[in-house]
Amino acid sequence: MAIRARILGAAAGGGLPQWNCGCGNCNAARRGEIPAQTQSSVAVSVNGSDWAILNASPDIRAQMACTPELHPVGLRESPLKAVLLTNGDIDHVAGLLTLREQQPFDLFATREIHDVLSGNPIFSALKADLVRRRTVALGQGFDLLPGLRATLFAVPGKVPLYLEGETVQTDLEGEQTVGVHLHAEGRDVFYIPGCAAMRPDLAARVRGADLVMFDGTLWRDDEMIAEGLGTKTGQRMGHMSMSGPDGSIAAFAELGVARKVFVHMNNTNPVLRPGSEQRAEAEARGWTIGEDGMEIET
């Protein structure tokens, strides 16, 4: 049984173009010279009728409107059966508020991510008798959809920006930042939209996978500083870069993954420009640059 993955949003927080950004990529997207991208989210299915969404982007209403498979099949009947969260970042949870319209579905997350939602009363708009909050332990497989098993595992990362204190650990491993392993009849798919480093256990986990959708936030660690758009490096934000000896392209080079797709790309990332030398390099190393609407079947 094949796993279908539809990229609903390929960009990191803010999307492309970002509303207040006049960088080269954002202006090119506004002019229609490069594809615009919405914020990070992926839909998955094995039967084409029951769907789960991995991370609820703030752009989820528009993303679902552009995806016929997610359109209602009755007056109040939706193919959406589950939502799974990989962290508590705004670009991954804000879309839950759009899904408050009296629609039943299962909401899967770790205990710590559920605690983040419970700590903000606005998420009580998701009525408990309709949106069933399912707490998942790391390493414990569960049925995300009929015929589709999922397992969550820790990856290096950090707490959401709005929960940061004076001291920030950017490679924390626990329940705040997780990856997803999807499994169906011998097919192994991984979704890891945020990751600060490739550790040996993570490399061993994804080795030989059919598909990995991986954090592509920045091309280089000081990208935003060099563009004059911020003061934080990628590492400070909890993301490993694509390029360089410690980057994701190098980290995956010997792992034998059949298909590798970058997702969650910041608006500054040069790979978002078709024809750029950085995109050409990534593609030459076996990577696909994710785009809104891209469907991948394994």
pLDDT tens digits for range 91-129: 999 999 999 999 999 999 999 999 999 999 999 999 999
Q: Torsions phi, psi of 30, nearest 5? A: -65, -35
122 CB burial (10 A radius; 0-12, 13-18, 19+): exposed
Residue 191: CATH number of its domain: 3.60.15.10
Query: Tokens for 244?
Result: 């360089």
Q: pTM (2 decimals)?
A: 0.97
Residue 166 pLDDT level (bands cut at 50, 70, 90) = confident
Alpha-carbon radius of gyration of the chain: 18
Mean pLDDT of 193-206: 98
CA 164, CA 169: separation in Å to the nearest integer? 9
84 CB burial (10 A radius; 0-12, 13-18, 19+): buried
Mean pLDDT of 76-82: 96
Mean pLDDT of 275-288: 98
Residue 222 pLDDT more than 80? yes
Q: Which domain holds residue 97?
A: 4-297
Q: Percent of the chain at pLDDT above 70?
A: 100
Residues 6 or more apart whose Cβ sits within 8 Å of residue 151: 139, 140, 141, 142, 180, 181, 183
CA 190, CA 152: separation in Å to the nearest integer? 10
Single-letter residue type at 118: S
Report cis status (omega within 30 of 0) of the bond before 17. yes
Q: Tell me the pLDDT tens digit for each residue of 167-191.
A: 889 889 999 999 999 999 999 999 9
C-alpha distances in Å from residue 1, one per residue of 46, 80, 152: 7, 19, 21
Residue 157 pLDDT level (bands cut at 50, 70, 90) = very high
Q: How many domains does the chain divide into?
A: 1
